[in-house]
Homo-oligomer: A and B are copies of this chain.
Amino acid sequence: MTRVPFDEMQQTVKRAFVNAGMPEEKAEACARIHTESSCDGVASHGLNRVERFVDYLKKGWVDVHAEPALELNLGALETYNGNLGPGILNAIFAMDRATELAEKNGLGLVGLHNTTHWMRGGTYGWQAADKGFIAVCWTNTESCMPAWGAKQTNIGNNPFVMAVPRESGNLVLDMAMSQYSYGRLESTRLKNEKLPFPGGFDQGGQLTDIPEPIEETRRILPAGYWKGSGFAILLDVVSALVTGGLPTSGIDKTGKGSCGRCCQVFIAIEPRKIDSKERIERVIAETVQQVKSAERADDKDEIFYPGEQSLKKRKENRELGIPVDDRIWEKVKELAGG
């Protein structure tokens, strides 16, 4: 396994983006997020997504020069048109703005529509929590999962993020509404393994833990069956209504690739306007303690709070270098011009 130092990866990814026409400063910021995602163990939306993003830039599906434009200001709620700008930059802007609104009002919501793929959703949870804010955010997507009871993909997997600030490490939940991502199906197949639990349906309509038949049917399983399906539907509709943008059914018609013209909702809350810093830390510490001190179901599996594993990998990979898939790393270096 090759490990690449953080700075080397960021500079390489940046050059790949600059070569595709992105201005220096924007390329630097986007490359940082891709690198941080790989560093946190989420390569699927980090280094592994660089080639596809470059492809989107070349196709004009992402406009490197676009900036988000204010459409509506209701005090604690604002909406923006993302103008098909880079999803990462639009989302950073929107979450930042939500925290500014929360600083003023205790609570802030920014609705962003006509934007593009934000890559790893957890990024924006960490961003707000690092500044001391509670955050809730989500995106809608094109259809990639069947609604519960449907045979074909007709709803998004609509990743949802919740984050809470803590001095010794934020709590960050980052979950798509499918039990497994297509990336996870692929990596499991390549290792010739089975999924830990059934992840979708085969041609005969039977649940299976073998990746191939699910990749063929594209009938990935909503997390919690009808629950993940219903949650995905509501996240979609609310994001379209709150931002003035397109629901999944509209995104399906745009032909701008994954998440082209999608909507995102960013909610920030300033807990220090409600609680003392001491009580905030104590409440979280007690909860983490109760979660982690339980007797384990299984001797070998530790109990984690959401975000804990990202933080562990971050520390390890900052020190030792970020593990990469060699083929993908070579490809990105090629895009960076050798």
- A interface list, Cβ under 8 A from B: 72, 74-77, 79, 105-107, 109, 111, 134, 136, 143, 146-152, 154-155, 162-164, 171, 173, 175, 179, 196-197, 201, 205, 219, 223-225, 227-228, 230-231, 233-238, 240-244, 247-250, 252, 267, 269, 271, 273-275, 279-280, 283-284, 286-287, 289-291, 294-298, 301-306
Contacts and interface: CB of A to CB of B under 8 A. Distances in A.
A197 B8 CA distance: 47
A205 B163 CA distance: 31
A295 B151 contact: yes
27 contacts: A75-B106, A77-B269, A77-B274, A106-B109, A107-B107, A143-B290, A149-B296, A150-B294, A151-B294, A154-B294, A164-B238, A173-B233, A179-B225, A197-B225, A223-B228, A224-B224, A224-B228, A230-B306, A233-B305, A241-B269, A241-B280, A241-B284, A242-B271, A242-B274, A247-B286, A248-B290, A249-B287
A284 B162 contact: no
Nearest to A175: B227
B149 A76 contact: no
Given A230-B306, A231-B173, A294-B147, A76 B107 contact: yes
Contacts of A171: 233-234, 237
Contacts of A237: 164, 171, 283-284, 287
Given A75-B75, A302-B149, A250 B286 contact: yes
A252 B290 CA distance: 11
Given A149-B297, A249-B287, A289-B249, A273 B233 contact: no
A291 B242 contact: no
A291 B76 contact: no
A143 B286 CA distance: 13
Contacts of A236: 287
Contact of A151 (B152, B201, B296): B296
A305 B226 CA distance: 10
For the complex, would chain A's binding face be called helix, strand, loop or mixed by DSSP majority?
A: mixed
A185 to B, nearest CB: 16
A153 to B, nearest CB: 9
Contacts of A163: 234
A283 B304 CA distance: 39
A72 B274 contact: yes
A273 B79 CA distance: 11
Contacts of A290: 143, 154-155, 248-249, 252
Contacts of A286: 247, 249-250
Contacts of A269: 77, 109, 238, 241-242
Nearest to A72: B274
Nearest to A300: B149
Contact of A298 (B136, B197, B205): B205
Contact of A238 (B111, B162, B233): B162
Contacts of A75: 75-76, 105-106
B303 A241 contact: no
Contacts of A296: 149-151
Nearest to A134: B238
Contacts of A242: 134, 269, 271, 274
